[in-house]
Amino acid sequence: MPFLKTPKQMEKPRIEDNNFTTYLFYTGKAKGQLKKEGLQKTLNYVKYGEHKQIKVRRGSMKGKKVEGVIELASFQKKFERSPDSWYCLQNNRLEMEKGEKGILIQKIFNSNYKLGFFSDALMPNNTFYFIRIRKKFSEDSEIILALLMSSLTMLCIELEGRTNFGGGALDTATFDIKNIILPRPSIFETQEKNKLKKAAQRLYSTKFGDLEKEIGKEARKDIDSLIFAKINGQKKWNNEEFYGALKNIQKSRTEKRKFR
C-alpha cells in the first residue's frame, strides 16, 4: 500500500497527485495460510526477513550483526509468542468511502503549514494527524477543507502549538489540533460556499511554500476574505494587518533558535 513516510513527500494539498516512492508490505496471513494459498513469493519475503544479516543501530547491541529482524529487540517477543505470524500487522490503513475525503495535517511545523487530503487507501507514519469528517458534515466536506486551508488555521496552529523541540520548530498534540477554530459551514450562503470551493480547488495543485508565499496566494486571500467577512460582520477586514501579525508570531518563534 502507498506509504506517506515524511511531510517532504506531501508537496501539494491534493495528496493523490503525489508520486509515491515508498510502499509498505502488508499481510495479515500466517505462514501456514500463505503456503496453503500458494502465495510463495510472499512467504519467501517473510523468510528472507528472518535470515537477513542486519547491523544493529541502537541499544546495548549497537554495532553488532544479527541474523534476521526477529533478533531485533522490537521483534523478539513477537516471534516468541507467534513464530508463525510475528510479522502480521493490524490493518490501520486509512481507506475512504466513495466520495469521502481524508484529511492529513503534519504534526511539527517550521515555516510552512502542510494540510492535505486524499481519496484512496493510504498509510501515513506518525508525523501526521488524520482528520475524518463526521457523517453529519459529509455534505460540507469540501467547505470544511477550504476553511481548514485558511490563514485562520495557520494562526490557530501558532497559538495552540508548543516550541519544545528547539530550533524554532512548533510541536502539536492531538488536543492542539482539536482546538483549531473552524467556522460552522452552515453560516455561509450557497453562493459563498461555491466561492470557497472554487478558491480551495485553485490551491489543491499548488506546491506548499513558506508563510510569505502562502499568504500571497490570491486563492487563500479569497478564502480568508469570505471567512472574516462573516466574523467581522459589517466591519472591514484589514488583511494586511492580520497577515502582518501572523508573520510576526511566526518570526518570533523561528528566531528563538538564534538566541540559544
Higher pLDDT, 119 or 47: 47
pLDDT at 47: 94
If you average pLDDT over every residue of the chain, what do you get? 88
Q: Which three cell numbers stand for residue 143?
A: 467547505
Concatenate the DSSP letters of all residues of 194-248 into one string: HHHHHHHHHHHTSPP--HHHHTT-HHHHHHHHHHHHHHHTTSPP-HHHHHHHHHH
Judge whether residue 126 has pLDDT over 90.
Answer: no
Residue 192's CB is within 10 A of a number of other CB atoms, namely 16
Find all residues with CB under 8 Å of 155, minimum gap 6, and list them.
Answer: 246, 249
Dist. CA 92–CA 225, nearest whole Å: 38
Cβ(115)–Cβ(103) under 8 Å?
Answer: yes
Least confident piece of the model among 2-16, 139-153, 194-208: 2-16
Q: What are phi and psi of 94, to 5 degrees?
A: -95, 110
Judge whether residue 258 has pLDDT over 60.
Answer: no
204-233 pLDDT per residue, tens: 989 999 999 999 999 999 999 999 999 887
Q: What is the mean pLDDT of residues 122-141?
A: 86
pLDDT at 259: 45
When pLDDT is cut at 50, 70 and 90, the band that residue 95 belongs to is: low
Q: Which three cell numbers stand for residue 144?
A: 470544511
Q: Which three cell numbers stand for residue 237?
A: 477586514
Q: What is the mean pLDDT of residues 80-99?
A: 76
Q: What is the mean pLDDT of residues 171-193?
A: 93
Report which listed range, 32-41, 57-66, 92-101, 156-165, is most confident. 32-41
DSSP H or E segment with residue 109: strand 108-109
Least confident piece of the model among 60-69, 201-210, 241-250: 60-69
Residue 246's CB is within 10 A of a number of other CB atoms, namely 18
Dist. CA 54–CA 151, nearest whole Å: 47
Judge whether residue 199 has pLDDT over 60.
Answer: yes
Cβ(223)–Cβ(204) under 8 Å?
Answer: no
Cα 95 from chain centroid (whole Å): 14
Judge whether residue 234 has pLDDT over 70.
Answer: no
pTM for the full model?
A: 0.79
Higher pLDDT, 131 or 207: 207
pLDDT at 216: 93
Dist. CA 251–CA 30, nearest whole Å: 53
pLDDT at 260: 45
When pLDDT is cut at 50, 70 and 90, the band that residue 6 belongs to is: confident
